[in-house]
Amino acid sequence: MGDIEIIGKRDYVSSYDTKSQAFKPLHIDFEVKSRSGDNVNYSLTLPVSQHYCINSMGESDALNGLSFTLDGQPFAPKDSVEAGHDGQRFNGSDDQHHLEVRYPTLPQTDNNQQCYGTLGLSAEVVL
């Protein structure tokens, strides 16, 4: 059968747009490649999606309401009930994919805050 791997950057930065009061959408391009070079059936899922903002006093709040698309189709964390939470299936040996992350409105405050998050993307061979 063969192994597959995800190839792409590991760290991304999204800029805050003061006009829309939200972070700009994040565009993540990556490749899924079969190590053998043979076509394989595989699935992509989002098992980890955690996002937070920390204010200047060190208090942390979860940032909820993000939305995701994978190659233009709904995609969502596995532990959610949103469309796309069960992932997407593909067949190929060297495929390019595009994950878009959209952020909810996050009004500016008088105090500084820093927001960060972690996404975990999983590729699994489907037998």
Encode pLDDT of 86-108 as tens digits.
Answer: 999 999 999 999 999 999 999 98
Cβ neighbour number for residue 21 with a 10 Å cutoff: 12
Q: What is the DSSP letter of 31?
A: E
Residue 2's pLDDT is 62
Q: What is the DSSP letter of 8?
A: S
pTM of the model: 0.90
Q: Which residues face 74 on adjacent strands?
A: 69
Encode pLDDT of 56-76 as tens digits.
Answer: 889 999 999 999 999 999 999
Tokens of 107: 């009004």
The answer regarding whether domain 4-125 maps to CATH 2.40.128 reads no
